Amino acid sequence: MKLLRTLGAALLFAPALVLAAQHIVIENAGFAAPESIVHDERHDVYLLSNVNGRAIDNDGNGFISRIAPDGTVLVLKWIDGGAPGVTLHAPKGLAITGDTLYVADNGDAAGNVIRLFDLATGQPRGEIPIAGSLFLNGLTALPSGEVLATDSGWRLSNTTDEREPTASGTRQQADGSTWTPTGRDAIYRIGADRRVSVFARGKDLLQPNGIALLPSGNLLIASSSSPTLYELTPDGRRTQVRQLPDRGFDGVGQAPDGTVFAAGPEKLYRIRPDGQPEAVPGFDTHVADLHFDRKRNRLLLPLLRAHKVIIKPLPLP
């Protein structure tokens, strides 16, 4: 039996919550291109990055939302790029290590930036520029306190910009931007001391997007341009390469029961331990950087273009 609960219209940005056996849909909440979601286990809340516009723009209006596990939006703009003393343009990947939230964001001509915020208060804790990076995307934290960041290697520009002829694989986006592959794909390691080093680099990374640490110690990587899902060993070697029935993936992760989830451009896929992929029913829009609430055995899904979040109990039927 489904229960539809709509919070009072008098509440600004009050979300509509649809609950059925712990299935929660948070919509009409004021989210704006939600890109990544993580579970802050220490404070038992979900943190959601909102690009709020085009990924190309350094417009200072990106924000991070704070959400309770029951779907209540506690603070829509908990970290607000428009607030004094805060810089946040188009936040994408999120990761938590210790008492710090790491956020992948646009930078300047020298490279993109990882911005740091206090996990309890949301106050800025500095930033880590990554020289030469083009499009920082997914983040994952390691037990060592290090954080890994994918650089999809896309060069973003306005379609009206004057530029040299673009390479094959260029994408013209509906928002008026052009995404051109450069071959400068990389995965960066940010140490606990905030020093940056290269974990892996090269075209064979296939414009990496989503990244997740597996129980084996390998990294699960989703390609943002091809049908490929693969693993990287701790020393950066590719292994367990899989081809899925779609191309251009975003979020990726492994549930406690071993099921791998990969978010395609219009479908969400699950890959059983035997390696067989299947589309999860009910998704026809872009699922971005998915994560898990392992305390409650839930899958957390930000829907980039639909501007909403879906929380699904695991295992899926």
> Which pLDDT value is given to residue 79?
98
Give mean pLDDT, residues 16-21: 52
Contact 77, 65 (CB under 8 A): yes
Residues making up the chain, counted from first to last = 317
Give mean pLDDT, residues 6-12: 34
pLDDT, tens only, 256-285: 989 999 998 889 999 977 788 999 998 888
Give mean pLDDT, residues 131-143: 96
As a whole-number percent, the residues of the chain with pLDDT over 90 amount to 75
Q: Alpha-carbon distance 73 to 34, whole Å?
A: 13
Q: Alpha-carbon distance 261 to 78, whole Å?
A: 28
As a whole-number percent, the residues of the chain with pLDDT over 70 amount to 88
Beta bridge partners of 141: 147
Domain regions of the chain by residue span: 1-30, 33-300
CA distances from 290 to 128, 267, 279, 310 (A): 24, 13, 15, 10
> Which pLDDT value is given to residue 157?
74
Contact 149, 103 (CB under 8 A): no
| Fold exhibited by the domain 33-300 | Methylamine Dehydrogenase; Chain H (2.130.10)
Six token digits for residue 122: 């949301």
Q: Is pLDDT of 143 > 50?
A: yes
Q: What is the DSSP letter of 205?
A: G
pLDDT, tens only, 235-258: 999 999 999 999 899 999 999 989
Give mean pLDDT, residues 207-236: 96
> Which pLDDT value is given to residue 22?
80
Q: Alpha-carbon distance 246 to 251, whole Å?
A: 14
Six token digits for residue 38: 């993580």
Give mean pLDDT, residues 45-68: 96
> Which pLDDT value is given to residue 2?
31
> Which pLDDT value is given to residue 276?
86
CB hemisphere CA count around 146 (13 angstroms): 16
> Which pLDDT value is given to residue 162?
42
Q: What are phi and psi of 205, to 5 degrees?
A: -75, -15
> Which pLDDT value is given to residue 274?
78
Beta bridge partners of 118: 100
Place 21 in a pLDDT band, splitting at 50, 70 and 90. Answer: low
Contact 268, 275 (CB under 8 A): no
> Which pLDDT value is given to residue 165?
40
Place 172 in a pLDDT band, splitting at 50, 70 and 90. Answer: low
Contact 103, 91 (CB under 8 A): yes
Q: Is pLDDT of 47 > 50?
A: yes
